[in-house]
Amino acid sequence: MSHTARVNEILSWYASENAGVRVNLARLLNTGKLAGTGKLVILPVDQGFEHGPAKSFAPNPAGYDPRYHVELAIAAGCNAYAAPLGFIEVAAGHLPGAIPLILKLNNSDSLSSGHDPISAVTGSVRDALRLGCCAIGFTIYPGSPARNDMYEALRELTLEAKEAGLAVVVWSYPRGGKLQKADETAVDVAAYAAHLAAQLGAHIIKVKPPTAHISEMNAKLYADKVGELKTLADRVAHVVQASFGGRRIVIFSGGETKDESAVLDEIRGIHQGGGFGSIVGRNAFQRPKAQAVKLLGDIIDIYAGK
Amino acid sequence: MSHTARVNEILSWYASENAGVRVNLARLLNTGKLAGTGKLVILPVDQGFEHGPAKSFAPNPAGYDPRYHVELAIAAGCNAYAAPLGFIEVAAGHLPGAIPLILKLNNSDSLSSGHDPISAVTGSVRDALRLGCCAIGFTIYPGSPARNDMYEALRELTLEAKEAGLAVVVWSYPRGGKLQKADETAVDVAAYAAHLAAQLGAHIIKVKPPTAHISEMNAKLYADKVGELKTLADRVAHVVQASFGGRRIVIFSGGETKDESAVLDEIRGIHQGGGFGSIVGRNAFQRPKAQAVKLLGDIIDIYAGK
Amino acid sequence: MSHTARVNEILSWYASENAGVRVNLARLLNTGKLAGTGKLVILPVDQGFEHGPAKSFAPNPAGYDPRYHVELAIAAGCNAYAAPLGFIEVAAGHLPGAIPLILKLNNSDSLSSGHDPISAVTGSVRDALRLGCCAIGFTIYPGSPARNDMYEALRELTLEAKEAGLAVVVWSYPRGGKLQKADETAVDVAAYAAHLAAQLGAHIIKVKPPTAHISEMNAKLYADKVGELKTLADRVAHVVQASFGGRRIVIFSGGETKDESAVLDEIRGIHQGGGFGSIVGRNAFQRPKAQAVKLLGDIIDIYAGK
Amino acid sequence: MSHTARVNEILSWYASENAGVRVNLARLLNTGKLAGTGKLVILPVDQGFEHGPAKSFAPNPAGYDPRYHVELAIAAGCNAYAAPLGFIEVAAGHLPGAIPLILKLNNSDSLSSGHDPISAVTGSVRDALRLGCCAIGFTIYPGSPARNDMYEALRELTLEAKEAGLAVVVWSYPRGGKLQKADETAVDVAAYAAHLAAQLGAHIIKVKPPTAHISEMNAKLYADKVGELKTLADRVAHVVQASFGGRRIVIFSGGETKDESAVLDEIRGIHQGGGFGSIVGRNAFQRPKAQAVKLLGDIIDIYAGK
Amino acid sequence: MSHTARVNEILSWYASENAGVRVNLARLLNTGKLAGTGKLVILPVDQGFEHGPAKSFAPNPAGYDPRYHVELAIAAGCNAYAAPLGFIEVAAGHLPGAIPLILKLNNSDSLSSGHDPISAVTGSVRDALRLGCCAIGFTIYPGSPARNDMYEALRELTLEAKEAGLAVVVWSYPRGGKLQKADETAVDVAAYAAHLAAQLGAHIIKVKPPTAHISEMNAKLYADKVGELKTLADRVAHVVQASFGGRRIVIFSGGETKDESAVLDEIRGIHQGGGFGSIVGRNAFQRPKAQAVKLLGDIIDIYAGK
């Protein structure tokens, strides 16, 4: 099966990468219900590590079993499934080759607190290879005093991944240092965070949906742009533009659990703004399976332009 | 000898691992009186390093000689013997191949104090291989400000161990940071700690028997679950569920020396809750040998369902 | 095509380097409108990383697309294009071999602040090789308490680059520690900074145009030289002399956006002082393309002696 | 020449080690006047590094020349000579193969002060191999806040040494942190320190002769043992017992310069307690050569049971 | 040409080194006007890095060009030329093989201040090899709180250098911590510093000419030796004795610029005390070339015993 024109166009943005990387990007783009559209919906399940098992899975206890999530991702027609080492080990052993896997290489737990935001590196490129993954995932916290350590860890993993033909997905979450809570999703900060991930060599960039807030440091710079950033679609378009003029895949997180219509409204905004898709975790796996498949299906339909 | 159905079932949970890892897991499951049951009783002797030789061995001076412990583990029908480098060197030289050995790769002594809880890495995968061990052991302290250093050290050792076909046993002991003393064995914290170990790639997870205490940070989350966590069996079941829905081997420590009936009551609770076994140190080797063999035998009988 | 006498002379200054390094230096010197003159005008675009995408590209939104910059560098007849990893990946994939590429290996973003000045290492020599670059770029901040970390990172990258036949370009920007703001461009400090870069093995050194200010620490030493450092040309000559008696290529940054005549006046001063060229970023890519090509052309004409 | 029964017995304690390690242990046990007895007297000369050359050698200026010490060790019939890199380089070049050499891999000088007790690693296993040594020596300071760094450095060197067939000698000197001056030689602390060295994989352990003092932290634990630890022989026996039930070679330092009868009294106590020998530095090389040979001879006679 | 008896004698002190190291030591001893005498006069030019280019070269501007210095060293009949990476790159390219080169591997600049004294490692053994050097140079600051970092860096470089057949020259400059300014050249401290360098494996040790001052910490120890340390020759003899009883090459720095007779008086003292030579920088290259050649010639004549 040859690629669609859109997939070929997207792959052309990564022309400097070796064939292995482009094959794995193609696998991501050619899987699930959105195959060939250039859009992506990914199921990520790292909340057990980040927030604890009960907080994550008690609402839908089937999710304590890691087989549940990879099965959900397949049933819903997602492009890929992303998780930390332990969950990916189960997925790779349970249904090898059934869906592209993204190994999240760093994670942060909630049993400790009060430190500079920095995640532990809990997996490696060699893990991703032995588990048959198509990509690595890595979280950076721009703004954190420890940001340089993260950028440097990412640099080494990115080079190793690319040489091994793996794609690189970067979660870019501004946090810490001089950034206020509201700044973390401010549209100016989100655009900068997405640009940084692209400059660091990410193929796929994940940010949070940007708000209309402008951080203090950029108040003057954006003074005359506020009018153009009123809607979520406007702001998504700004973030996508900041990501190499739209020539990098930028996807958006689903964030905290909310009702379905709120979720779908947000997706429509992302889609209208030219976003490349969503990564939906808690809003998927914390619902009963049938509801989750339905909601993910509705999200996919929006991105498919139905 | 072919494996029992239960052993095959357990091995299927680790389907992504290479043959070497599964062979070593099978060795652990197919040794001693509990061979084939899917249950494990392990003798660990790291107290000389952790608490000092006199504190550990004066109650039963035969234990100053490291040959004593590996002989005790064999006599009692344990599945494995775990210890730091020096003791494993003696065991491996004294009775090579007589019982599966677990090399504890990090340890903390008591001559110093007042620092962030973190162990020294005192052994390596190459040591485990040259000594014919079937697994490495590693302790993490979730909650410690130094937790990320431990997770990252574990990540490297785990990858190296798995590539070499060794099993990985993780002692997950919450401690430090914002955790109060009572939180260290709180059921919510124990469940989180077990989940973290599983996500970090552990094959076998060791935690302390969980108490009915709920840590401040999860008070709200567990408010409506307290009624379901009244017995040790309930709490063990919660911790096992948090460990990949019961698809990881979770065993429990014996803790401080106590009388036999208290020990056996605790074992019954663990067994009823679906725990996979126990790791019993001081309650074994600080008793005279005949008493220790008897007590370990009684523990084994409970796990064997006798 | 054989080299000009001037290019051969310059290459003779690097006689201890292997053939690969000298080939890449020759590529830099033999590209663009200044080919063969021994002069260099380079387009650098790292401002998206350093200052943010909107601050950098909103004045001329075509610059959000990284293809724009490499096309501009070629259209204007520059010797080379320098940028961080992400932008170079696009350039190398878009127009492979069309212009010498310099991979900037370390960068600093503006979302965080208040730390010792130190950049994150965001690329590697292996990245430069897989992307077909002819040189690496690296920024040091002499004066920073973290300077030794930077010098040592540079040392390792320089050795690896030279062994791989790549040229080394060092941005030497005094900053931090006991240095006052005015000291950062003081002529005595600039001369020292250029000398340090040369001693660290740089082939091409980039400094800011030196001012007539003398830092407190050298007030006495320069007391009788102030008269000889009145003009920019005088000061450039001093910096060039401090760079191995003129036997290292020293180029100067364009600095903040300003009007064309101010830019060209500065270039004339650099040229008269024996500077080897300029690296012009914001003054180029923040103007409309036609204006940028015109301005770069005027700059090139000055260096060409037209 | 076949080994004596005692040497074979001692070698059997190290049955897990490769042939190279056991050959080198045998070389140590089969050299000098104590050859075959299972006892060891070693001449160490690291005081020039640790305390300064004049403080060490002015009392007997012949000792400024490093050839003096290795010649003294041979003349006196010692089992081995131990020193830092520079002195071992001279010994290995001056009289290659004449006596087993132990390269002390870490050392601490006295020109600086007030820091956590930690030594610099000043030699490597590759140095020990190129110089034909039979063992490495390493000092740990249990109790120091930096103890984990030392244990981890030792772990790496020990593994490398054992893989290369070298024996490992550990100087275990409690110091720093919560330890008071008197605790450093307290019998409870000395026993713990010896046990730690054994657990860390040492073949030969060196501690200071234990005093009757009990550290605060173990006051209760040892309350009923004080009566059994009245003589140096009692205390040495306790330390030897703590060292794997007597199945590790434990030797004792000679400490500060004192008169001959005090030295010999101490040796008798060590011998009666089952100590394996002594490491005598200042009490040897700071005396005129004839006196030193005589004193070492008397010490050897005690260990030989004459 | 066979070696002189004196050169053979000196080489015998390094009998444990491989042939490559001894060949390079022989090259140093058999070059220049002092060839064969066992004496050395070396021209070092690291002042541009350490103190700045104008401070170093403005007194004699010919020195801005690095070719000047290597030509001066050859013209004056020096044994070797020592400098940081950049200057050695020029020397190696300009006159390859014309004089033994010593690559100074660490250096400290003066743009920053107020930190623990520690130099940046700015070159490597692989640099020394690719540039055809016969030795590496390294500076340690005994007394500095960072001394252990320096000793450990030196250890790794020394091992690598010796395995590659290069000689090792150590600048041992006590500084920092509890040392007062006057202590830095105190004869007791200088003797200790020289001994440390020898123990760390140095072949050639460079210290400053020792003063009659005794540091507080050794006041008692040296109380009865003060009478024997009155002249520079006495003190040099003490430092040489502390350096393995005279069996290591110890040379002395020239220090700050002074008049010729003061320089030559100092040289005579060093020569009478048995010093092996001098390393003369500012007193050479800051004079006009003819004067410098003359002064170096006079120094050489003293060491040649003329």
Q: What is the pLDDT of residue B116?
A: 67
- CB-nearest partner of E222 from D54, D64, D67: D54
Taking contacts as CB-CB distances below 8 angstroms, the residues of chain D near E219 are none
Contact: B119, D148; criterion CB under 8 Å: yes
Chain C residue closest to E107 (CA)? C148
- Residues B244 and A67 sit within 8 Å (Cβ to Cβ): no
Beta bridge partners of C121: C106
- CB-nearest partner of B155 from A65, A87, A123: A123
A74 touches chain C (CB under 8 A): no
Which of D148, D215, D234, D239 would best serve as a mutation to test chain B binding (most B beta carbons within 10 A)? Answer: D148
Q: Which listed residue (E39, E104, E206, E208) is catalytic?
A: E206
Q: What is the C-alpha to C-alpha distance for residues C124 and C105, in angstroms, rounded to an integer? A: 6
In 10 A of CB D140, how many CB atoms?
28
Q: What is the pLDDT of residue D1?
A: 60
Return the number of CB contacts < 8 Å for B and D. 132
CA neighbor of D139 nearest in space, from D49, D215, D20, D241: D49
DSSP letters along E119-132, please?
A: -EE---HHHHHHTT
Chain A residue closest to B162 (CA)? A127
- Residues B178 and B145 sit within 8 Å (Cβ to Cβ): no
- Residues A141 and A109 sit within 8 Å (Cβ to Cβ): no
Contact: C86, A202; criterion CB under 8 Å: yes
Q: What is the C-alpha to C-alpha distance for residues A97 and A99, in angstroms, rounded to an integer? A: 6
B183–chain D nearest CA distance, Å: 26
Contact: E244, D112; criterion CB under 8 Å: no
Question: Which two tokens mark C78?
Answer: 């520059």
Q: Is the pLDDT of residue D199 over 80?
A: yes
Q: What is the pLDDT of residue A231?
A: 97
> CA dist A135 to A28, A197, B280, D108, Å?
9, 15, 42, 48
Please list the ranges in chain B whose pLDDT falls under 70. 1, 114-116, 255, 257
- pLDDT class of D9 with cuts at 50, 70, 90: very high
- pLDDT class of D112 with cuts at 50, 70, 90: confident
Q: What is the pLDDT of residue B115?
A: 62
Chain B residue closest to A111 (CA)? B143
Mean pLDDT of D102-121: 87
Residue type, B152: E
Please tell me chain A's helix, strand, coil percentages from 3-state DSSP, rounded to the nearest 5: 45, 15, 40
Higher pLDDT, A139 or E1: A139
DSSP letters along chain C, please?
A: -PPPHHHHHHHHTTTTS-HHHHHHHHHHHTSSTTTTTT-EEEEE--HHHHH-HHHHHTTSGGGGSHHHHHHHHHHHT-SEEEE-HHHHHHHHHHSTTSS-EEEE-EE--SSS-SS-S--EE---HHHHHHTT-SEEEEEE-TTSTTHHHHHHHHHHHHHHHHHTT-EEEEEE---STT--GGGGGBHHHHHHHHHHHHHTT-SEEEEPPPBS---GGGTTTTTTTGGGG-SHHHHHHHHHHHTTTT-SEEEEE--S---HHHHHHHHHHHHHTT--EEE--HHHHTS-HHHHHHHHHHHHHHHTT-
HEC string of chain B?
CCCCHHHHHHHHCCCCCCHHHHHHHHHHHCCCCCCCCCCEEEEECCHHHHHCHHHHHCCCHHHHCHHHHHHHHHHHCCCEEEECHHHHHHHHHHCCCCCCEEEECEECCCCCCCCCCCCEECCCHHHHHHCCCCEEEEEECCCCCCHHHHHHHHHHHHHHHHHCCCEEEEEECCCCCCCCHHHHHEHHHHHHHHHHHHHCCCCEEEECCCECCCCHHHCCCCCCCHHHHCCHHHHHHHHHHHCCCCCCEEEEECCCCCCHHHHHHHHHHHHHCCCCEEECCHHHHCCCHHHHHHHHHHHHHHHCCC
The share of chain C scoring above pLDDT 70, in percent, equals 98
- CB-nearest partner of D152 from B86, B112, B120: B120
Contact: E89, C178; criterion CB under 8 Å: no
Q: What is the C-alpha to C-alpha distance for residues E4 and B67, in angstroms, rounded to an integer? A: 63
Q: What is the C-alpha to C-alpha distance for residues B282 and B259, in angstroms, rounded to an integer? A: 11
Taking contacts as CB-CB distances below 8 angstroms, the residues of chain C near A18 are 130
pLDDT, tens only, D237-275? 999 999 999 999 999 998 676 789 999 999 999 999 999
Beta bridge partners of B252: B207, B278
- For the annotated catalytic residues of B, the residue numbers are 206
Question: Which two tokens mark E238?
Answer: 């003490």
- CB-nearest partner of A145 from C65, C115, C127: C115
Q: What is the pLDDT of residue C47?
A: 96
- Residues D197 and D205 sit within 8 Å (Cβ to Cβ): yes
- For the annotated catalytic residues of D, the residue numbers are 206
pLDDT, tens only, D145-182? 999 999 999 999 999 999 999 999 999 999 999 999 99
Return the number of CB contacts < 8 Å for C and E. 131
- CB-nearest partner of C155 from E110, E118, E123: E123
Taking contacts as CB-CB distances below 8 angstroms, the residues of chain A near C111 are 142-143, 147, 174, 177, 179, 189, 192-193, 196
Chain E residue closest to D104 (CA)? E199
A191 touches chain C (CB under 8 A): yes
Mean pLDDT of D223-245: 96
List all residues of chain E from 117 to 156 with a beta carbon under 8 Å from chain D: 142-145, 147-148, 151-152, 155-156
List chains touching B (3+ CB pairs under 8 A): A, D
Beta bridge partners of A139: A171
Contact: A54, B221; criterion CB under 8 Å: yes
Only one residue has tokens 């040494």, namely D161
3-state secondary structure of A279: strand
- CB-nearest partner of A201 from C85, C113, C115: C85
| 306 residues of chain E, pLDDT tens digit each | 689 999 999 999 999 999 999 999 999 999 999 999 999 999 999 999 999 999 999 999 999 999 999 999 999 999 999 999 999 999 999 999 999 999 999 999 999 876 667 899 999 999 999 999 999 999 999 999 999 999 999 999 999 999 999 999 999 999 999 999 999 999 999 999 999 999 999 999 999 999 999 999 999 999 999 899 999 999 999 999 999 999 999 999 986 767 899 999 999 999 999 999 999 999 999 999 999 999 999 999 999 998
Only one residue has tokens 């200071």, namely D208
Residue A96: partners with Cβ closer than 8 Å, 6 or more residues away: A132, B16
A50 touches chain B (CB under 8 A): no
Q: What is the C-alpha to C-alpha distance for residues D88 and D134, in angstroms, rounded to an integer? A: 12
pLDDT, tens only, A3-22? 999 999 999 999 999 999 99
Q: Is the pLDDT of residue A1 over 70?
A: no
Chain D residue closest to E149 (CA)? D120
List chains touching E (3+ CB pairs under 8 A): C, D
Question: Which two tokens mark C79?
Answer: 């010797």
- pLDDT class of D117 with cuts at 50, 70, 90: confident
Q: Is the pLDDT of residue A123 over 80?
A: yes
List chains touching D (3+ CB pairs under 8 A): B, E
List all residues of chain D from 10 to 49 with a beta carbon under 8 Å from chain E: 48-49
Which of E49, E89, E108, E131 would best serve as a mutation to test chain C binding (most C beta carbons within 10 A)? Answer: E89
Q: Do chains B and D touch (3 or more CB pairs under 8 A)?
A: yes
Quote the DSSP letter at residue A241: H
Chain C residue closest to A177 (CA)? C112
D265–chain E nearest CA distance, Å: 29
Q: Which listed residue (C39, C162, C206, C208) is catalytic?
A: C206
- CB-nearest partner of B93 from D14, D147, D221: D14
Contact: B118, D148; criterion CB under 8 Å: yes
ipTM of the modeled complex: 0.96
Question: Which two tokens mark E15?
Answer: 């009998």
pLDDT, tens only, D23-69? 999 999 999 999 999 999 999 999 999 999 999 999 999 999 999 99
Taking contacts as CB-CB distances below 8 angstroms, the residues of chain C near A162 are 130
Q: Is the pLDDT of residue A118 over 90?
A: no
Contact: E48, C13; criterion CB under 8 Å: no
List chains touching C (3+ CB pairs under 8 A): A, E
Chain E residue closest to C15 (CA)? E93
A241 touches chain C (CB under 8 A): yes
Q: Is the pLDDT of residue A258 over 80?
A: no
